[in-house]
Amino acid sequence: MQRTEAPGPADTAGDASRFVAAPATLYVVATPLGNLRDLTLRAQDILKSADVIAAEDTRVSAVLLRHFGIAARPMSLHAHNEAKRAAEIVAILQSGRSVALVSDAGTPAVSDPGAALVAAVRAAGFGVIPVPGANAAIAAISAAGLSAERFAFLGFLPSAAKRRRELVQEMGALALALVIYEAPHRVRETVEELAQWLEGTRTLVIARELTKKFESIAAMPLRRASEWLAGDSDRQRGEFVLIVDACPTANRSEAAGITPDVERWLALLAHELPPARLARIAAAATGIPRDILYARAQRLKDGPDAAG
């Protein structure tokens, strides 16, 4: 028996019915990171029954589709044509046909194209149904053994150096693990920057080529990461998830190393400089980690009550 998908409660366990894509519906389908066996049964059903498949790179998706005997020829939807394709896909849905969206690997619209399409489809009044599956960030977090109870997903960091630094320092001042995507040609530079902007004793987890033949997951103090990457050229190959764990509670006190004189100096400068710049100058002058100084500067900037 075949079942047509429709928005509604989760299906009961043990229902072996095959799902068929519903008319006038967009499916956001997660695909494997590398191991093709990670494509879920439901995702296979939707990809086989959808009228149209929109793919980030049609050549990459064609390999996946051929492997599962799916004859559909995907249409491209990437960062440079998403606005145009969104209008076309809305028209397809208006005609009563179904569309499945996939990216090259993992979950669409998570540091990949798709968010603008989803927004356009919702605005046009059509259903959007997620078909969950592989996600590099969640896979890495699950195997990282973090001390942090919460995390912030930063995706790919901004290309502009100033904005990149400000984002890392702002988020690094919080009691969170930071999850970052990075490409092989930039990974060593990025971990060097992280070590400059955050406390070097924080644990960095480097997850590389997840689910693929050369998958590796390693943890080390942040200050040693650049040297570790340089120790073997293979360690700089592939796609990366970098996770900076939160500072251990014992090292997290914002008062650590902040003497009364430094505190008075910070209070005066907080009225003249933005927190990121203040933290950079104060770290150079005192040797106190920038993320601790940034957090203190931010609270001073917010006023006496916030400063505590």
What b-and-e string marks burial along 29-43, b requiring 16 or more CB atoms within 10 Å of the CB? Answer: bbbbbbeeebbbebb
Of residues 9, 7, 10, 39, the one with CA closest to residue 23: 7
| Domains of the chain by residue range | 2-134, 137-248, 260-307
pLDDT of residue 11: 53
Q: Which CATH superfamily hosts domain 137-248? A: Tetrapyrrole methylase, C-terminal domain (3.30.950.10)
Q: What is the pTM of this model?
A: 0.78
pLDDT of residue 23: 97
Cβ pair 28, 109 in contact under 8 A? yes
Q: How far is CA 196 from CA 33, 48, 155, 158, 243, in A?
A: 31, 49, 19, 17, 16
In tens, the pLDDT along 28-60 reads 999 999 999 999 999 999 999 999 999 999 999
Q: How far is CA 261 from CA 286, 293, 294, in A?
A: 11, 14, 17
pLDDT of residue 257: 62
pLDDT of residue 1: 45
Kind of pairing, strands 2-4 and 99-102?
unpaired
Domains 2-134 and 137-248 share a fold: no
pLDDT per residue rounded down to tens, the chain (308 residues): 455 665 444 554 445 457 899 999 999 999 999 999 999 999 999 999 999 999 999 999 999 999 999 989 999 999 999 999 999 999 999 999 999 999 999 999 999 999 999 999 999 999 999 999 999 999 999 999 999 999 999 999 999 999 999 999 889 888 899 999 999 999 999 999 999 999 898 999 999 999 999 999 999 999 999 999 999 999 999 999 999 999 865 454 444 567 777 878 888 888 888 888 888 888 888 888 787 788 778 777 765 444 34
118: burial class by Cβ within 10 Å (0-12, 13-18, 19+)? Answer: middle
Q: Helix, strand, or coil here: 218? A: strand
Cβ pair 91, 132 in contact under 8 A? no
217: burial class by Cβ within 10 Å (0-12, 13-18, 19+)? Answer: middle
Fold for the domain defined by 2-134: Cobalt-precorrin-4 Transmethylase; domain 1 (3.40.1010)
Q: How far is CA 118 from CA 60, 105, 115, 208, 234, in A?
A: 22, 18, 5, 29, 37
Phi-psi sector, 195: left (phi>0), alpha (psi -120 to 50), beta: alpha
